[in-house]
Copies of this chain bind each other. A is one copy, B any other.
Amino acid sequence: MAVTIKDVAKRANVSPSTVSRVITDSNKISEKTKRKVRQVMEEMGYHINFNARVLVQKSTQTIGIVMKHSASHSLHNPFFPEVLRGISAFCHEKDYSISLTTGNSEKSIFNEVVKMVQGRRVDGVIVLYSKKDDKVVPYLIKQNIPFAVIGKPLSETNKIMYVDNDNVQASKEATEFLIKLGHQRISFIGDDPEFQVIQDRINGYQEALKLHELEVTEDYIKSFEYGTANGKQVVEELLSLPEKPTAMIISADVNALVVMKELSKRDIYVPKDMSIISFNNTIISQLSTPPMTSIDTQTYQLGYEASKCVIELIGDPEMFKRSVIIPTVIENRETTAIYKGNGKYN
């Protein structure tokens, strides 16, 4: 059996409460006693039992991270490690631990969240997505537990702390970037359209088109998820259109890579025949051939700010529910080119 506070107390000839006070470095304990007790703790190899402390203090110093349904999905996307890195960094600064959901369906993840929250295993939660008809966020509101969302919540935005890019704006800028290069037939390829981030980006894309009096063609808006065969299909559909697009905005750089591969199979060269802008600017877009023009969403920062939000909220549950917008920047690399009308099919 492990050494407890009582064992230490006995050996140091003090009471358990004194030992406890030494642990928290209370200023009501004399330096002399502190030294003595600390020495005994050292000798006996004492270490605090975290669970006992949690039970009485009701603070776990742990935050739970809720991934998208299908951890697999989340974990396949290089977005995840990067956001986790940001979360992790701030948690480390504040000495918080991180607990991860493991489920692979919406339902099992929801159950885990309930277990985390009701089981008092976490002091706060970060939800890594925002999705239509999602039950997690409403549940967290109801439970009144500190949480932050990465992405833009669909409702009650005033009651929710969230960290997001201005995806509408970012996508609008990406579109305008292409328009300024002379492109008129621009396609938008998302991943799962159920997530708000995709909706926002579609909106920004459409706004830009309208602003420049270009037609909004539903046929140009596609989506597929990495890992399915649909990448190929999407490319085929787009290329079989009578008016083929000359540029694409692709909402995740993994997907952009898939598209580029499919294009190259068909001898369509990027950026000569097709311009591409991807989102996220992960290592993938930096190292692809050719390196991608990509919207840097500053994923690390997204994570960092999110954990900052929750941890502050834990400290003051009544605090003003601010939301944080992380700026995006276009990394102009080599997958975008001026439209010259001399591409494969113009």
Contacts and interface: CB of A to CB of B under 8 A. Distances in A.
Count chain B CB atoms within 10 A of each CB in A47, A114, A254 and give the residue with the most: A47
A100 B118 contact: no
Interface residues of A, number: 52
B283 A119 contact: no
A289 B287 contact: no
Nearest to A52: B55
Contact of A97 (B80, B99, B284): B99
Interface string A219-262: 00000001000000000000000000000000000100110110
Contacts of A203: none
A85 B99 contact: no
B88 A81 contact: no
B120 A76 contact: no
A300 to B, nearest CB: 9
A88 B76 contact: no
Q: Assembly of this chain: how many copies?
A: 2
A50 B60 CA distance: 11
A82 B76 CA distance: 7
B284 A47 contact: no
Interface of A: 2, 47-52, 54-55, 60, 62, 71-72, 75-76, 78, 80-82, 84-85, 88-89, 91-92, 96-100, 102-104, 108, 114-115, 118-121, 226, 254, 257-258, 260-261, 264, 283-284, 287-289
| A-B interface, 9 closest residue pairs, ranked by CB to CB distance from nearest | A47-B118, A50-B119, A92-B102, A75-B81, A88-B102, A289-B289, A75-B85, A257-B287, A98-B100
